Amino acid sequence: MPCELKERQRGGLINPIFTCQPAGAQYASIGIKDCIAIVHGGQGCVMFVRLLFAQHFKDNFDIASSSLHEDCAVLGAVNRVEEAVDVLLMRYPHIRVVPIITTCSTEIIGDDVDGVILKLNNGLLKEKYADRDVKLICVHSPSFRGSMVSGYDVAVESFVKALAKKGEPNGKINLMTGWVNPGDVKELKHLLSVMDVEANVLFEIENFDSPLMPKGDCVSHGDTTVEDLEDTANAVGTIALNRYEVTKAARYLEDKFKVPAVIGPTPIGIRNTDAFLDNVRQMTGKPIPEQLVRERGIAIDAITDLTHMFFADKKVAIYGNPDLVIGLAQFCIDMEMQPVLLLLGDDNAFYGNDPRIKELQENVDFDMEVVTNADLWELEDRIKNKGLELDLILGHSKGRFTSIDCGVPMLRVGFPVYDRAGYYRHPVMGYAGATWLAEEMANVLFTDMEYKKNKEWILNVW
Read off the pLDDT of residues 151-207 as tens digits, 9 standing for 90 and up. 999 999 999 999 999 999 999 999 999 999 999 999 999 999 999 999 999 999 998
- CA end-to-end span of the chain, whole Å? 37
Residue at which a domain ends, from 288, 319, 349: 288
Same domain, 246 and 346: no
With beta carbons less than 8 A apart as the criterion, state whether 194 and 289 touch: yes
Q: 3-state DSSP call for residue 307?
A: helix
Burial of 406 (0-12, 13-18, 19+ CB in 10 A): middle
Same domain, 122 and 145: yes
Residue at which a domain ends, from 268, 288, 308: 288
Same domain, 207 and 60: no
Same domain, 413 and 267: no
- In this prediction, residue 2 carries a pLDDT of 84
In b/e form, how buried is each residue of 19-51, taking b as 16+ CB within 10 angstroms? bbbbbbbbbbbbbbbbbbbbbbbbeebbeebbe
Could you tell me where the DSSP H helices lie in 58-181? 70-75, 78-91, 104-109, 113-122, 124-127, 148-163
Q: Is residue 196 part of a domain?
A: yes
Same domain, 158 and 191: no
Contacts of 151 (CB under 8 A, 6+ apart): 20, 21, 22, 23, 24, 25, 28, 141
CA atoms of 107 and 110, how far apart (whole Å): 5
Could you tell me where the DSSP H helices lie in 240-289? 243-257, 270-284
Q: Is residue 405 part of a domain?
A: yes
Same domain, 116 and 256: no
Query: Cα 301 to the chain's mean position, in Å?
Result: 28
Q: Is the peptide bond before 61 cis (omega within 30 degrees of 0)?
A: no
Taking every pair of C-alpha atoms in the chain, what is the biggest distance, in angstroms? 78
Q: Is residue 244 part of a domain?
A: yes
Q: Which of 49, 57, 54, 59 is nearest to 26 (CA)?
A: 49
Q: Which of 119, 112, 39, 107 is nearest to 73 (CA)?
A: 107
Q: 3-state DSSP call for residue 39?
A: strand
Same domain, 374 and 399: yes
Total structural domains within the chain: 3
Q: Is residue 131 part of a domain?
A: yes
Q: Is residue 168 part of a domain?
A: no
Q: Is residue 46 part of a domain?
A: yes
Q: Which of 437, 29, 252, 222 is nearest to 263 (CA)?
A: 252
In b/e form, how buried is each residue of 322-332, taking b as 16+ CB within 10 angstroms? bbbbbbbbbbb
Q: 3-state DSSP call for residue 205?
A: coil
Same domain, 277 and 343: no
Same domain, 157 and 178: no
Q: 3-state DSSP call for residue 369?
A: strand
- Please report the sign of the dihedral spanned by the C-alpha atoms of residue 138, residue 144, residue 148, residue 149: negative
124: left (phi over 0), alpha (psi -120 to 50) or beta: alpha
* CATH assignment at residue 108: 3.40.50.1980
CA atoms of 380 and 334, how far apart (whole Å): 26
CA atoms of 249 and 261, how far apart (whole Å): 10
- In this prediction, residue 460 carries a pLDDT of 57
What's the order of all strands across the beta sheet hosting 199-202? Answer: 199-202, 173-176, 237-240, 261-263
CA atoms of 351 and 360, how far apart (whole Å): 12
Same domain, 445 and 306: yes
- Kindly give the pairing relationship between strand 3-7 and strand 38-40: unpaired
Query: Cα 69 to the chain's mean position, in Å?
Result: 31
Q: Is residue 450 part of a domain?
A: yes
With beta carbons less than 8 A apart as the criterion, state whether 134 and 98 touch: yes
What's the order of all strands across the beta sheet hosting 3-7? Answer: 3-7, 368-372, 338-344, 315-320, 392-395, 410-412
Q: Is residue 375 part of a domain?
A: yes
**Residue segments in the chain with a per-residue pLDDT below the cut of 70:** 1, 71-76, 217, 454-462
With beta carbons less than 8 A apart as the criterion, state whether 154 and 23 touch: no
Cα dist. 226→32, 35, 189, 231 in Å?
Answer: 8, 9, 19, 9
With beta carbons less than 8 A apart as the criterion, state whether 411 and 444 touch: yes
Residue 257 structural domain = 173-288
CA atoms of 370 and 175, how far apart (whole Å): 29
Residue at which a domain ends, from 144, 163, 182: 163
Same domain, 180 and 282: yes
Q: Which helix (H) or strand (E) holds 360?
A: helix 355-363
Residue 3 pairs with which residues in a beta bridge? Answer: 368
Beta strands in 229-367 (DSSP E): 237-240, 261-263, 315-320, 338-344
Helices (H) and strands (E) in the chain, counts: 18, 14
Same domain, 327 and 399: yes
